[in-house]
A = this chain, B = another copy of it.
Amino acid sequence: MRAFGRSAYGTGRVSRQRVSIALVVDASPDRAFSAEDLAALVRLDDPGIGLATVYRALAAMESSGFIEPVGERNGAVVYARCVDAGHHHHVVCTCCGMVEDAECPVGGTSAGANGFRITGHRLVLYGICPSCQRAAPEPGDEPGRGRFRVRPASRRAG
């Protein structure tokens, strides 16, 4: 197997399954997705793909920088495709899960206050996308349309 997939996984072999998975992820650059979401989509083409395979691919894509975890939905981690090449972040619609790359507003801090040597950071912006804003009656209310609510990662239900 060749071509696409190489870039998504960085290193390692590129199996038929990994190509399918990478293609689906590549085709959904503006939507946060969970392992189950991804599996469901991939199964449209390859019904026999196993969840474990998806999880393993997810881990590989994350460490290669092809995707990044951006929150959770019902206790499951949701990821976003990293469209931009370099260092960047994501804005996630907490209502529908829409995602867009965002520039990194964090600067200078790499100097490190209090003697810390800063090695990195994780930032995710949350908001309401244009589409969901339109659907929301009261600006300020959490729109009720989305079936993909994303929440800042940390714990399960509430």
A51 contacts partner chain B, Cβ-Cβ < 8 Å: no
**CB contact list, A81-134 vs B, under 8 A:** 91, 93-94, 100, 102-103, 105-109, 112-130, 133
Which residue of B77, B94, B100 contacts A114 across the interface (Cβ within 8 Å)?
A: B100
Contact with B along A69-83 (1 / 0, CB 8 A): 100000001000000
17 CB < 8 A contacts A-B: A69-B153, A69-B154, A91-B114, A91-B116, A100-B113, A102-B113, A105-B105, A105-B108, A114-B130, A115-B130, A115-B133, A116-B125, A117-B127, A117-B133, A119-B128, A121-B125, A122-B152
Contact yes or no, A113 B94, CB < 8 A: no
| Contact count band on A | 35 or more
Q: How far is the CA of A94 from the CA of B127 in the complex (A)?
A: 29
- Which residue on chain B has the smallest CB distance to residue A131? B115
Q: How far is the CA of A20 from the CA of B16 in the complex (A)?
A: 55
Residues of chain B lying within 8 A (CB to CB) of residue A116:
91, 93, 100, 125, 127-130
Residues of A with Cβ closer than 8 Å to B?
A: 59, 62, 69, 77, 91, 93-94, 100, 102-103, 105-109, 112-130, 133, 139, 152-155, 158
Which residue of B103, B108, B120 contacts A126 across the interface (Cβ within 8 Å)?
A: B120
Contact yes or no, B94 A106, CB < 8 A: no
Contact yes or no, A118 B127, CB < 8 A: yes
Residues of chain B lying within 8 A (CB to CB) of residue A154:
62, 69, 77, 153
Q: How far is the CA of A154 from the CA of B69 in the complex (A)?
A: 6
